[in-house]
Structure 1
């Protein structure tokens, strides 16, 4: 089974983070959480409420972190997941995140992005020529990064699997697990 790296930080969306971790573990894979430091990150809960033009945000659970970005050797992992929420806005500027994410794209390893997760590879120029889903208001950002935006729950482009947000997670997880199972990955 694969070791899968989860890149996250404070204000990551709780379902975007926890659902993939639990699904990967359920599938027999090892999910390893990396963040700017090794302290637990504070997740948030985003919801869609009547009368709001945008989603709302409430405090969520804390997520234990296994290692800091600076300690990640990407060669130790067979796949990558980048959950959404607000964390991608600031982790995308971390030089270690650039090193890590570029490794997975360069080696055509499975990469899963959820909701705002595509902001990370977009900032690194890694979405150019690709097809991706994202939280729908990010359509222009994704297109400016050179990608084709698809409004779908389980968009697969080679080894990359993306979705619009937590309501899509059952479809995204099924597609990501298929890509993961087909990949030739290091054993955990």
Structure 2
């Protein structure tokens, strides 16, 4: 049975931040499982940069089926977690089960993938303190104020946490995350 990787998402998750890791994980033979607060189709969004705009723009993206609700997630069944960016992290962290799920991966030292605004989830629970992480650049002061070290980068690795600034970094982030995940699973197999 393939190892399972949990994807925490919700409406307004960035399309590429969600779809790229899901397809990459499935391509490598992992079971990428999408979790959301509710069982409905997630409505993804596409963020892009337009000349003359100070901030990114947002357009409707794909719909993403949900495999399991946060309330039904048993985090011990998963080898790793990925939290895509977009606007979803600012509200999924309000779900009472989001902290339980996220904390498990930090407490058990399992691989954690954070893309763009995905850092907002563990940051809200005080889990980034003392860690080095990337994230969407305007989040730097929030990350630093939570006790973490901010480093802009395409593939920032701190132990088993792999983070990046956003979707343009996904090839580098993906290579780094897959390496951390594979090393973790090899270690688990040799110790098990």
TM over 0.5: yes
- 1:144 and 2:149 are equivalent in the alignment: no
Aligned residues: 187
Q: 1:56, 1:152 → 2: CA distance?
A: 22
Q: 1:31, 1:176 → 2: CA distance?
A: 14
Structure 2 unaligned spans of 5+: none
Q: 1:4, 1:184 → 2: CA distance?
A: 12
Q: 1:27, 1:174 → 2: CA distance?
A: 11
DSSP 3-state at the match of 1:117: helix
Deviations 1:38-85 (A, max 9, x none): 111000000011000000000011000001000000001000000000
Give me the TM-score of the superposition, normalised by structure 2: 0.95
Report the Cα offset of residue 25 of structure 1: 0.4
Aligned to 1:85: 86
Aligned to 2:74: 73
- 1:39 and 2:40 are equivalent in the alignment: yes
Pairwise CA RMSD: 1.1
User: After TM superposition, what 4+ stretches of structure 1 lie above 2 angstroms from structure 2?
Assistant: 184-187
For 1:37-116, what aligned pairs fall within 5 Å after superposition? 37-116=38-117
DSSP 3-state at the match of 2:50: coil
Relative to its length, the structure with more helix (as a share) is: 2
For 1:145-160, what aligned pairs fall within 5 Å after superposition? 145-160=146-161
Aligned to 1:16: 17
Q: 1:2, 1:119 → 2: CA distance?
A: 26
